[in-house]
Structure 1
Amino acid sequence: MNILISGGSGFLGSAFSRELMTRYRAQNKELQITWLTRDSSQAHPDDIAMMTYDELAGTDKSFDVILNLAGAGIADSRWSDERKETLLASRVKPTESILAFIARSSAKPKLLVSGSAIGWYGTQGDKPLTESSGFETDFAHKLCDDWEQLALKATQYGVPVAIVRTGIVIHPDGGMLGKLLTPFKMGVGGQLGDGKQIMSWVSREDWVGAAIFIIEKSLADPANTQMTDNNSLKTTNDTPALVYNLTAPNPVANHTFTKALGSWLNRPTFFTLPEFLLKLMFGEMSTLLIDGQKVLPQALQDAGYNFKQPTLKQALEEQN
């Protein structure tokens, strides 16, 4: 397999790359991973190739799969108008570059896997949400939908697309858990608001495993003969376009998450950050902390993926 990854050096892309190399070496399969980057001097493992966006615009290389993960962190800072523009541009520009490459390539990729987030569904409380569910309009939805709709244009060139809507990824190396470790270790961690909001999470190990599963399943079945109405997306052509929720099958309330994290670290969790303070601190972005989403991985489970860490306890204790 020859795979191109935007965002390859990030929290998810780097873990994906390591696991894919480990699996393919164990199976004596050929593999070439290329990270797409804006900085040609970026540090990277010796066995991973690097390609800048300028080089992509002129290359005659071909790739079996493109994994599109580039994008600024949605929860990294307050959503000012400038920050919203940055969040959108950091997703749109890399995707546009990938689409331009696909359009002029004589040997098209067999699959484009493009990132998104469960924010696509908007705020819907504790209502169970699967890939066939509708959405509530807010900034997170619009950001995700604009990104998804752009990626789906790859189907116009005959390239199948898999959209992966990612939940809260659990691993101490980064993401939400990485940011929470310091305050919790100091004994000042606690629940957010009333703690009743549902958190749809996934371990990084299962995120990586699910992404590889989706890729290998698609390559083995290019026509996606097992696609269903539950996770197929509407396009203007017959090229397959699917969506998967990359979340664990057991979402939990924030209160439960807080207690589990405190227990794992052997630290108290007496503190509470009230809703009004979260809104004051984070503005509109506080919706990510206050308003829950109960997003379920129906398409993954229907396709036969078996979660290695289906419970939060396992995700915290079985870190790799």
Structure 2
Amino acid sequence: MHILLTGGTGLIGRQLCRYWLTQGHRLTVWSRRPEQVANLCGAQVQGVARLEQVAAPVDAVVNLAGAPIADRPWTHKRKALLWSSRIGTTETLLAWLEGLEQKPAVLISGSAVGWYGDGGERELSEDSGPVQDDFPSQLCIAWEETAQRAEALGMRVVLVRTGLVLAAEGGFLSRLLLPFKLALGGPIGNGRQWMPWVHIKDQIALIDFLLHKSDASGPYNACAPHPVRNSEFAKTLGQVLHRPAVVPMPAFALRVGLGELSGLLLGGQKTVPERLLAAGFTFQFTELRAALDDLSSRL
């Protein structure tokens, strides 16, 4: 199978490339820095700067491109970049797909549990609507709606609403390591917000599962069946790292320092992967402690 990836040099994209190479698939990554693709994704992966350089036919497209949402405060300029790197990139991809004589069978497009907004105490399945109209929700809704236009081209469209990905090679967990190792880690705000998490191995496995499941379409919550509150996450991470986790991060300090972005840390979603489980996907890691223990030797 020939698979085209956007965002292939990111945390999930790199792992997908390594996995699919072992499965014998042919991989092409559309990247702003194509010269780095072979080094980051695997020597056999072709990097292209323009979609016109992609050798047809393509059997599947995996669209994960998007600037990191929590790296810096959401100024007007940053919001514009977050928007263009997702919606703008997907629109360019769709224009290219429209011009192909032979269309790929499936588009798997990234999204996030932020689609729901801050869900409070509500349990959120894929049948739930958006709870709060904040910037992450608006961003994800527009991203999904853009990707869904590929259905008009005769393609199967899958939307992967990813939670917090646990990995040793990067992602949000890497940002927590220094304060926790210095015994300065702890709950954020009141610690009651829900954190939908997923182990990187399950994230890769579920995307592969959805790629090959010919009747899979629409949104899927990519998170383990048992989300935890922020206070429990901090406590468990502290135990795994053999450090206390009792230094709280006050909500007011986050709001002053990060502005609107603080809502991403102080809010949360109690999401459940209802459609994945119903489709027959089996998670390798369903409990947070087991997931963190698996990663602990590399943290």
* TM-score over 0.5 (shorter chain): yes
By how many angstroms is 1:42 displaced?
Answer: 1.9
Please tell me the residue identity of whatever aligns with 1:49: Q
Q: Deviations over 1:233-269 (max 9, x none)?
A: xxxxxxxx41100010000011100010000000111
Secondary structure of 1:21's partner? Answer: helix
- Whether 2:137 is the aligned partner of 1:157: answer no
Q: Pairwise mapping of residues 28-47 of structure 1 onto structure 2 (< 5 A)?
A: 30-44=24-38, 45-47=42-44
Secondary structure of 2:8's partner? Answer: coil
By how many angstroms is 1:60 displaced?
Answer: 5.6
- One of 84, 87, 90 as aligned partner of 2:82: 87
The equivalent of 2:253 in structure 1 is 277
Q: Pairwise mapping of residues 134-153 of structure 1 onto structure 2 (< 5 A)?
A: 134-135=129-130, 136-153=132-149
Structure richer in helix, relative to its length: 2
Instruction: Tell me if structure 2 keeps the 8 A contact 1:62–1:107.
Output: yes
In structure 2, distance between residues paired with 1:194 and 1:88: 30
By how many angstroms is 1:59 displaced?
Answer: 4.8
Identity of aligned residues (%): 40
In structure 1, distance between residues paired with 2:165 and 2:54: 34
The equivalent of 2:281 in structure 1 is 305
TM-score by length of 2: 0.94
In structure 2, distance between residues paired with 1:185 and 1:214: 37
Please tell me the residue identity of whatever aligns with 2:87: V
Q: Pairwise mapping of residues 101-120 of structure 1 onto structure 2 (< 5 A)?
A: 101-120=96-115
Please tell me the residue identity of whatever aligns with 1:272: P
TM-score by length of 1: 0.88
Q: Pairwise mapping of residues 206-217 of structure 1 onto structure 2 (< 5 A)?
A: 206-217=202-213
In structure 2, distance between residues paired with 1:211 and 1:100: 24
- Whether 2:172 is the aligned partner of 1:176: answer yes
Gaps of 5+ in 1: 25-29, 219-223, 228-240
In structure 2, distance between residues paired with 1:260 and 1:59: 45
By how many angstroms is 1:165 displaced?
Answer: 0.5
Secondary structure of 1:272's partner? Answer: coil
In structure 2, distance between residues paired with 1:157 and 1:215: 18
Secondary structure of 1:34's partner? Answer: strand
Secondary structure of 2:219's partner? Answer: strand
Residues 312/120 of structure 1: CA separation in 2 closer, same or farther (3 Å cut): same
The equivalent of 1:65 in structure 2 is 60
Instruction: Tell me if structure 1 keeps the 8 A contact 2:35–2:47.
Output: no
By how many angstroms is 1:58 displaced?
Answer: 5.8
Secondary structure of 2:36's partner? Answer: coil
Gaps of 5+ in 2: none
RMSD: 1.3
Instruction: Tell me if structure 2 keeps the 8 A contact 1:60–1:105.
Output: no
- Whether 2:64 is the aligned partner of 1:52: answer no
Please tell me the residue identity of whatever aligns with 1:245: N
Please tell me the residue identity of whatever aligns with 1:192: I
Q: Deviations over 1:106-151 (max 9, x none)?
A: 1110100000001100112020000000112111111001111111
In structure 2, distance between residues paired with 1:91 and 1:109: 20
- Whether 2:6 is the aligned partner of 1:11: answer no
Residues 214/59 of structure 1: CA separation in 2 closer, same or farther (3 Å cut): closer
